[in-house]
Structure 1
Amino acid sequence: MSTINRFELSRALRQFRAIKLPLDGRRAAAVCIAVLIEDGKPAIWLTERSSSLRAHPGQVAFPGGRIDPNETAAEAALREVKEELGLHVHPQQILGELDDFATKSGYVITPFVVWIGDFAGTLRPNASEVARVHAVTMDEVDTEPRFVTDPRVDSPILQWPFRDLGIHAPTAAILYQFREVVLRRRHTRVAHVGQPVFAWQ
C-alpha cells in the first residue's frame, strides 16, 4: 500500500484522468471522499443514512447529494459535508476527482477526494440525515471486493465487505476506484459494475 498523505494523494490523482459523463436526462450529484488522519492513521468517512429518509434509508454512503441550480459539483460536495457532518471544508482542500458514476436511480455522481488532514475535533452529524459516521481505515479500504450475480442485473454486482455492513454500488464502486487509483496506483474503471435492484427500484 502506498503512503497516504496530501502529497501522495495529489500525485496519484494528478496521474489519473477522470471520465466525465453527460447527464442525458439524469440528475447531477456529488460526493466527498474525505481523507483524514486520526490517531496517526489515515481514514475516510462513510455515513449511515438516517432511517427516516425517503431515499435510500439506512444505506452506507459518502457525504453528498444533489447539485443545486447555479452550483458547481465541487460546491455541492463541500456544502453536503457541511450540512451532513457540520464540518467546513475549503475548496483548496479538494485534491482531485474520480470518474463520474451513473446510477440506475437516475443520477450522475461526481466524486471529489478532499484532504482533511489531522483531525482531533468532533463531528456534528445532522441527525435528520445521518444516523452514524464511520472512520474507515485504509486497511479496510484496501480489501478485495466481492462480485455476486442476480438474473435481474446484466453485470456482476459489486459488494464491499465492511465490518458487519454490506456496501453496494454506487458507494462500493467509488470506494473500489479510490482504492485502485490511490492505494494501488491502477487506473481501474468501474462504470460497468452491477448495481443491486434495491438501489434503484
Structure 2
Amino acid sequence: MDGTDALRTAVVDALTGFTRRTADDADREGRKTAAVTLTLIPAPGATGEGPLADELTFLLTRRAKSLRAHSGQWALPGGRADPGESITEAARREVSEEVGLDLGEDRVLGLLDDYPTRSGYVITPVVLWAGGAGEPTPNPDEVGSLHHVPLREIDHEPRFLTIPESDAPVIQVPLFDRFVHAPTGAVLYQFRELVLHRRATRVAHLEQPVFAWK
C-alpha cells in the first residue's frame, strides 16, 4: 500500500459505521434532489504518514459570475440530479462537467447527511476520491476559479449566529480570511467533524443566511 492508498483507507475508515440521516418526505416535498461533492486529492508530497489535515486537499470552486443563481459564491462541485440518475451518478457527472475529472463509481467513498436548503433542494454530499485521476480543469461556463484546499484550512471551530428570521443558528465556517455559510459551510463542518475528528456531528438543522434563501 502506498501513501495515497493509506490516505484513501483512512477516509473510508472514518466514514465506515457512520449512519447518515436522509431527508424525510416532509423535507423532500417541493424540493429537487441535488448532489454536492467533497472531491479529495492528496497534497503534493503526501506520504500517508502525516495527519489527514495536512496530507489531503479538496476541490472548492468560486461560481462563475455569469451564472444566474448564486454567481460568485463559494461552492463544492455539484448540482441537480437528472431524472433516473442516482445521487452518486449525479455527483460524478457534475464533477466531470465542472472540473473535468471522470471518476468511476469505485471512487465513491461515502455519503454525508442530507441537507434541505431554503432555495428548494435536498442536497446529498458525496465524498469522492480523485487521487491519480489527472489534473482538474475548470469549465469557465460554470467555474470562475478552482482551489485545492488543504483539509487543515477547515479544521477550525465555526461561528454560530442568531438571526431574527429563524430560531436555528446560522453557521459560518472560517476559510480564506472570510466565512463560508450553509449549505457549503454545513457540509464542510460535518466532513471535518467526521473525517478529521471522528465525531458524528449533525448539521441539517443549521441555518443558511437570509441572502441564500432564494
**Is this a same-fold pair by TM over 0.5?**
yes
Distance 2:166 2:147 in 1: 29
Structure 1 match to 2:126: 112
Distance 1:149 1:192 in 2: 13
Structure 1 match to 2:82: 68
Do 2:79 and 2:91's aligned partners in 1 also have CA atoms closer than 8 Å? Answer: yes
Distance 2:97 2:136 in 1: 11
Greater helix proportion: 2
Do 2:101 and 2:135's aligned partners in 1 also have CA atoms closer than 8 Å? Answer: no
Amino acid at match of 1:27: K
1:81 is aligned to 2:95: yes
RMSD: 1.3
Q: Equivalent residues in 2 for 1:145-184 (5 A)?
A: 145-184=158-197
SS at match of 2:163: coil
**Count of matched residue positions in the alignment of Structure 1 and Structure 2:** 197
2:67 to 53, 66, 87: 53
Amino acid at match of 2:181: H
Distance 1:67 1:174 in 2: 18
SS at match of 1:124: coil
Do 1:31 and 1:111's aligned partners in 2 also have CA atoms closer than 8 Å? Answer: yes
Runs of 4+ in 1 over 3 A off after TM superposition: none
Do 1:153 and 1:197's aligned partners in 2 also have CA atoms closer than 8 Å? Answer: no
Structure 2 match to 1:194: 207
Distance 2:143 2:177 in 1: 18
**Percent of aligned positions with the same letter in both sequences?**
50
Q: Name stretches of at least 5 consecutive residues in structure 1 with no aligned partner.
A: none
SS at match of 1:156: strand
Amino acid at match of 1:123: P
Amino acid at match of 2:60: L
Distance 2:78 2:192 in 1: 19
- After superposition, the C-alpha distances for 1:58-96 in whole angstroms (9 at most, x for unaligned) are 111110000000111110000000000011111101011
State TM-score, norm by structure 1.
Answer: 0.94
SS at match of 1:140: helix
State TM-score, norm by structure 2.
Answer: 0.88
Distance 1:141 1:29 in 2: 23
Structure 2 match to 1:43: 57
Do 1:38 and 1:118's aligned partners in 2 also have CA atoms closer than 8 Å? Answer: no
2:37 to 32, 50, 53: 32
